Chain A
Amino acid sequence: MNPARYAREIPHRYRLEAAKCKKCGAVFFPHRLICLKCGHRQFETIKISEHGKLETFTVIHTPASDFKDQSPFALGICKFPEGVRITAQIVDIDLEKVRIGMKLQVEFRRIQTDGHAGILSYGYKFVPVI
């Protein structure tokens, strides 16, 4: 991961910040410079809720090389009350128990490790609610 790109993505990766169009109210995650719906350029920063509903998922058995040691793992798309859908790994769960419609919560985790000496990338994953 390029450190400059990583730093640019911190607001949405760390804090789940999204952009809400000040004209039409459309919400974008990650944020955008121009509203896809009305073309407006002014946005309000909002924070996505901690809990979402799993809409779909798959289990990855042959991951990209950086994620090989985590195989097999679940990757899901959750819908949040603000209307956005977010894709992330689903962890701390028995893969047999992952079900569409289940409530999941967002947890801060290490996402990627750039070899032995590169930067550590942090962000969000989904976990079952305690």
Chain B
Amino acid sequence: MSKPVGIVGYGVHIPRYRIRVEEIAKVWGADAPSYKRGLELREKSVPPPDCDTITLSVEATKRALKRAQIDPAKIGAIYIGSESHPYAVKPSGTTVAEAIGATPDIHCADLEFACKAGSEGMYIALSHVKAGEMEYALGIAADTSQGAPSDALEYSASAGAAAFIMGRKNILAEIEYTHSFMTDTPDFWRREHEFYPQHAGRYTGEPAYFKHTLGCAKALLKKAGAEPGDFKYAVFHQPNGKFPMRVGKMLGFKTKQIEQGWLAPRLGNTYSGASPMGLAAILDVAKPGDRIFMVSYGSGAGSDGFIWKATDKLPAVQKVTTQTYALLDEKKFYLDYGTYAKFRRKILKNY
């Protein structure tokens, strides 16, 4: 049997600004209670103008390095999954690699696959280490998500990042199984030079999110010969609060297994960051031997599934840096819609 591979360091970063659903609904004459009920979310994080996919990635990685306690120069690859890379042409990865001290002997790539780009980076990083190509590899999931003014997405599109260092030594969560499931499904897209994505309304539900999440999850369970009851925790992509709970229940998972990684009600949809940040919140509390079931989803469309198992090394590093819930719930600033629109560059200065 090959030597175990897994997560040796993880970290999260979330901007401190928030906007409540009521504040957005007020501007557009929408019914806030029905949005809150329909999307099962109360508020979302908002990135200030000096915060983007690169800065979020750096801060999340700094926390991952504190847990991993490794020399950043030993990281052989960095993959950043995002649909909001700051440049159209110039990698986010090189800036992050410079900022953490991992250059110049490193492979970098920026990935894009709607909300699945982050788990893609994790999968590739994991595969490099598994193949013995490098000692450590870094997968980052980060977004400052876009949602057009008054569109349903505006109530959920938020910002955050999670970083995972994969390796073979001092593993915090070992990978047991992976599975990926993809089809060409045009449920959500953004064309070049467009500011905001477009989506196919209700088509984003059953034929898109549910088909792929369920397809991947069922195949992963079969591959592992496991049942939902075998896991302490489960985390799914969370475009809103409702979908991950519903898909989890459809598979046979209980609320208690899902709620630790269910961040969307008070974080919003961090797109690429969604399920990876949920995984980080689970790693903050998981005990040795706990198994974690994870399935991401990205429009276009596809899901990556992972089964992780927490090791006895995890408890010692859970509190060495700021945990996910602290970043989510402490020292928040609530914005009015005007300031939010300024932060998100939604005000056109036509002069």
Contact = CB atoms under 8 A, between A and B. Distances in A.
B253 to A, nearest CB: 31
Given A15-B101, A120-B86, A122-B95, A110 B51 contact: yes
B49 interface: yes
B247 interface: no
Interface stretch (B20-28, B132-140, B276-284, B325-333): B325-333
Given A15-B101, A122-B95, A130-B331, A92 B59 contact: no
A49 interface: no
B79 to A, nearest CB: 19
B50 A125 contact: yes
A108 B59 contact: yes
Nearest to B61: A108
B351 interface: no
Contact of A128 (B87, B98, B322, B331): B331
Interface string B20-58: 000000000000000000000000000011111011001
Interface residues of B, number: 26
B340 to A, nearest CB: 14
Contacts of A128: 331
Contacts of A122: 54-55, 95, 99
Given A108-B58, A110-B51, A130-B331, A69 B342 contact: yes
Contact of B330 (A70, A94, A120, A130): A130
A111 interface: yes
Nearest to A94: B333
A92 B333 contact: yes
Contacts of B87: 120
Contact of A91 (B48, B58, B98, B342): B48
Interface in A111-130: 111, 120, 122, 125, 128, 130
Nearest to B99: A14
A130 B99 contact: no
A68 to B, nearest CB: 11
A70 B99 contact: no
A40 interface: no
Nearest to A10: B98
A22 interface: no
B128 interface: no
Nearest to A7: B98
A109 interface: yes
A46 B87 CA distance: 31
A107 interface: yes
A111 B50 contact: yes
Contacts of B48: 91-92
A105 to B, nearest CB: 10
B50 A91 contact: yes
B326 A14 contact: no
Interface string A88-115: 0001101000000000000111110000
Contacts of B322: 130
B55 A108 contact: yes
A125 B100 CA distance: 16
Contacts of B98: 10, 14-15
B55 A15 contact: no
B339 to A, nearest CB: 11
A109 B48 CA distance: 10
Contacts of B107: none
A120 B54 CA distance: 11
A22 to B, nearest CB: 21
Contacts of B49: 69-70, 110
22 contacts: A14-B95, A14-B98, A14-B99, A15-B98, A15-B101, A69-B49, A69-B342, A70-B49, A70-B50, A92-B16, A92-B331, A108-B55, A110-B51, A110-B86, A120-B52, A120-B54, A120-B87, A122-B95, A122-B99, A130-B322, A130-B330, A130-B331
Instruction: List the 3 shortest-distance A-B pairs measured between CB atoms, nearest first.
Output: A108-B58, A109-B50, A14-B99
Given A14-B98, A110-B50, A120-B54, 5 more contacts: A70-B49, A91-B48, A91-B50, A122-B54, A122-B95
Interface of B: 16-17, 48-52, 54-55, 58-59, 62, 86-87, 95, 98-101, 322, 326-327, 330-331, 333, 342
